[in-house]
Amino acid sequence: MDAATHARYTSTAIALHWVIALLLLGQFAFGLLLDDIPRGTPARGYYVNLHKSTGILIGLLILLRLGWRWTHTPPPLPDTMPPWQRRAARLSHVLLYGCMLALPLSGYLASNFSKHGIKFFNLVRWAPWGPDDKTLYAVFNGAHHLAALLLALLVAVHVLAVAKHMLVDRDGLLLRMWPQRGPPVETAPSTLSMENR
């Protein structure tokens, strides 16, 4: 294990990573369960609005995470990682962030090109700001489905990659993203971007 492997993400980045991962997993299952509720029934409207509302809150958390990521440099990758693996890691992280943004955004946009709009937690109705346009709805809804599928694939690859690091390379990569007992470790804020690793 080299020095870089001992470096860790900030405790805020770690908390955001795991909270968002859990919430996304739940939201994904929620989305799939929506398929079982017959269209045109009151239950469908209720649960779809709940899905939209939790999705918007998760979207805000994702924006917070991106803001944190933008202003806090991640720890350097282990020296033992060959250049192609560094490139693959960087690309997969960018794609993961892309899907995490695309999911709530496409859902929000689709909802605003449908007469239903959003009823936030079934309490407050946000009237759609767009027209009831079936084509635009289908485009954004299609993007929502595609982003969900892509996210599931990327997360599977992500988990396999971490497993390979732990079981084959034995470089302790998971510990960089694992909550630590004791006083929190925060690295100095920086103005560095996604490319800085």
Q: Examine residue 17 and tell whether it contacts ligand HEM (CB under 6 A).
A: yes
37 part of the interface to ligand HEM, by CB under 6 A: no
The whole-angstrom separation of Cα 186 and Cα 165 is 24
Q: Does 93 bind ligand HEM (CB under 6 A)?
A: yes
**Of the residues 14, 16, 27, 113, which one makes contact with ligand HEM according to CB under 6 A:** 27
Residue 119 within binding range of ligand HEM, rule CB under 6 A: no
Using CB under 6 A, pick the residue from 97, 102, 133, 169 that binds ligand HEM: 97
Which residue is at the shortest CB distance from ligand HEM?
31
Of 131 and 163, CB closest to ligand HEM: 163
145 binds ligand HEM, rule: CB under 6 A: yes
Binding site for ligand HEM (CB under 6 A): 17, 21, 24-25, 27-28, 31-32, 34-35, 48, 51-52, 55-56, 58-59, 69, 74, 77, 89, 93, 96-97, 100, 103-104, 107-108, 111, 118, 141, 144-145, 148, 155, 158-159, 162, 173-174, 176-177
